[in-house]
Structure 1
């Protein structure tokens, strides 16, 4: 997929495709690493695991790639644009490497397996290539690369979850954090490379997840986002004879895990992403409704509003089934925020199919969406089975119509919040003015409001009444 469109994230929390790490005790390490992450939240979370492994291996983080001994790009293959961006950055780092011969450059993540030969041999852009399940081997691979060898490990695992590794929080605001609960995907959507780049689903030990959430809360964090390619399919079965725990334990479903994390503290907010519509059960929804600190927000990718196209995508649901799921969410959680993923111009998509997507967006009334036009990804089922036959100019026109509709829906959604009062978690200063705070409500909407004379700080909860809005941001004032 390509061309992530406007409104992908709220103005006050716009995420770049790349970020530099927090410089953690730079002076205590003889060697330094610099890392950039691209793509989904899972990649950003993986970079925090990598940072922990590297620190254990004697590397400290730096924000300045010019002083780094090791530069790593954590890559994404979900869109062609992301791959083009990474290739451009690698070319830039190759020039830096020419002036600094000892510098090592590595590629991590989803592009590693598919493009390892090109990066290492044909284009000579990198020294190290590491897949998502092989990060523990990084110290050994770095040692090999320091001798002049090219180092590669892209083996996928059926067991690796990095459950025992405490992530180093990169560029953290000290308030919100990601917690990875599972890896891989079994869904085999025809347009998606994730099952091939990240392997099959495996769920992390529930006790390690709770321990990480508790540790974050103890350190002052007030919100965790549970991450996975498909979090709702989380299922952890304990060992058959867990003698160390004194008896047999029950398996943990995603609904049960949500409850366990929510019970860490009522002051700890819980979010999750991403959800496949087929796995959002009533049990999950009722658990969300039962706990005030589980946020009323679900990211529920649609992809297409045409049943015929959904079948080609192997999404395993129909247009009507998806609409019923949205209705069920609103029935159990009336004020739930819902966002989506939309793909324009998938193989054989007709104008009628496209109109079905627009009408489904209207009826679902999404608060925001991530919007793309389709581009064929090598190795996927769609690349093998179907012809990418929708002309690019048609894809772009349809995407434009989708973006325009979502902009209108976002505007209407925010307009309905004027006059309402929300409990907001302060995440930091507004990017536009240090006189204002920025935070989010339970529905994941960004709210900006004046600090005034109140003595609040990051991580505090405050009540904010919405007085105005833009297409992407609510504007309000604190109330007692």
Structure 2
């Protein structure tokens, strides 16, 4: 059978698509990039917010027409949307054939084979330990930078977040399997590893903590650049900062979701820090690693958010000046504590207005941070040719800044010195040095 796979959502979903490809290919399935040639179409889905969810449902409606033309075609939803809605998806989308959650991908070949009898199949069970330790991902890597999941799930139970319900509790992966995958990636010519986890710095295997695993990886593949995300603010320890500072192949960048600049709202969200504590974490990072970049997630319009709460978010953003942020308005997710117990009483028009103000402010902060690089010489990993202009390469420095620079005979995947000449609001522009 030929399978077609589309991926929506975060880096973890991209990595999971590689896991799915590996499992199906090993079982004799054939991957196709042509919808019309597929015997089964799978959508690996995200359910973190309402907007991506609507996009997926709209896509499914469009794909439905392929089933009319090809009666034996099977259509399935895998990933977070599967565990979010479970059997209700069959009621909402009667043309669906299978629903499989993030912890059940090993069963996909068996489940797909059962569909031959025109059954509808579902497996959305959640495991209490990592299930893909010995599976080498395959299918969608770019040859330069590779995602590598070290843990799954989340124990924090923030009131707005659906992740603990769609991906289950925290499950860390055996460090030996992580190191094995790192070595394999290096052998295959990859230049960068991005360690993934819903709370990557909460990694814990027996007595090994995240900072110890990170140091072990840095020593094991010293010629590979290492990034990691997403970090939970309260888990940033001095030991972790010292490891990041010590090893030149570990990037000096932290992604730390603030969510809100109001301690009252953070409490309603059940975030495990106050605004004052978050600022102290930022201060500790900057003290130990002065040139470190910090990005964030910022949510506007959470339940009962007042104008005063919003102004606090603006104030904290002005104090920190994040290098960049992912910004979005709150959307209530069925099943969460906020959905059940809190009032989503901020008008949508006000959410949008506040979000636009946050976006404008972050844009100015990003520009401020990027301009500080003008005139410096940066080591950049060449990731490819710019889509905007074929005369330029693009790549990133150790702080995760995107850099576009003049093209020469240098190979994609090599590290080169680039002099930064100017900056836009999102990108550094430079020239490659001889």
**Matching residue of 1:158:** 128
Q: Report the CA distance shift for 1:161/1:297 in structure 2 as closer, same or farther (over 3 A).
A: farther
Match of residue 74, structure 2, among 101, 104, 123:
104
C-alpha deviations, 1:241-262, integer Å up to 9, x for none?
Answer: xxxxxxxxxx221001111111
1:186-201 equivalent positions in 2, closer than 5 A = 186-201=155-170
**Aligned pairs (5 A) from 1:68-467:** 68-170=38-140, 172-237=141-206, 251-452=207-408, 455-467=409-421
Cα deviation, 1:29-68, whole Å, max 9, x if unaligned, reads xx22111111111111111000001101211222211111
Shift in Å, 1:117: 2.5
Deviation at 1:122, TM superposition (A): 4.1
Paired residues of 2:182 and 2:221 also in contact (CA < 8 A):
no
Partners of 1:262 and 1:412 in 2: CA distance? 31
Task: After TM superposition, give the deviation of residue 94 of structure 1 in Å.
Answer: 1.2
8 A contact 2:48–2:162 mirrored in 1: yes
The Cα shift of 1:338 comes to 0.7
CA contact (8 A) 2:186 2:224 kept: yes
1:291-315 C-alpha deviation (Å, 9 max, x unpaired) = 0000011100000000000000000
Q: Give the Å deviation of 1:169.
A: 3.7
- Which secondary structure state, in structure 1, belongs to the residue aligned with residue 227 of structure 2? strand
Gaps of at least 5 residues in structure 1 are: 1-30, 238-250
Kept in 2: contact 1:34–1:64 (CA 8 A): yes
Distance in 2 between residues matched to 1:123 and 1:165, nearest whole Å? 31
CA contact (8 A) 1:161 1:182 kept: no
**Higher mean displacement: 257-266 or 98-107:** 257-266
Are the aligned partners of 1:467 and 1:475 in contact in 2 as well (CA < 8 Å)?
A: yes
Residues 116-125 or 349-358, more deviating: 116-125
d(CA) in 2 for partners of 1:469, 1:125: 49
| Distance in 1 separating the partners of 2:53 and 2:92 | 16
- TM normalised by structure 1 equals 0.89
Alignment of 1:34-49 (within 5 A): 34-49=4-19
Question: Hey, which bits of structure 1, 4+ residues long, moved more than 3 A?
Answer: none
- Are 2:84 and 2:165, in contact at CA under 8 Å, matched by a contact in 1? no
Partner SS state of residue 358, structure 1: helix
- Residues 109-128 of structure 1 show CA distances to partners (whole Å, capped at 9, x for unaligned) of 11102323332234313101
Number of aligned residue pairs: 434
Taking structure 2 as the reference length, the TM-score comes to: 0.98
| CA contact 1:464–1:477 (8 Å) conserved in 2 | yes
1:147-170 alpha-carbon deviations (Å, 9 max, x no partner): 100010000000133010000040
* Bigger relative contact order, structure 1 or 2 (CA pairs below 8 A, ≥6 apart): 1
Look up the match of 1:476.
430
Greater CA deviation, 51-60 or 284-293?
Answer: 51-60
Mapped partners of 1:222, 1:305: distance in 2 = 37
Cα shift at 1:431: 1.1
CA contact (8 A) 2:130 2:172 kept: no
Q: Distance in 1 between matches of 2:425 and 2:131?
A: 39
In structure 1, distance between residues paired with 2:294 and 2:139: 27
Q: Distance in 1 between matches of 2:154 and 2:66?
A: 37
Distance between the aligned counterparts of 2:61 and 2:432, measured in 1? Answer: 48
Between the aligned partners of 2:135 and 2:215, the Cα distance in structure 1 is 23
Could you tell me which runs of 5 or more consecutive residues in structure 2 were left unpaired when the two chains were aligned: none
Q: Distance in 2 between matches of 1:125 and 1:278?
A: 44
Provide the C-alpha distance between the structure 2 equivalents of 1:463 and 1:173, rounded to a whole number of angstroms. Answer: 22
CA RMSD of aligned residues (A): 1.0
- 1:301, 1:161 → 2: CA distance? 27
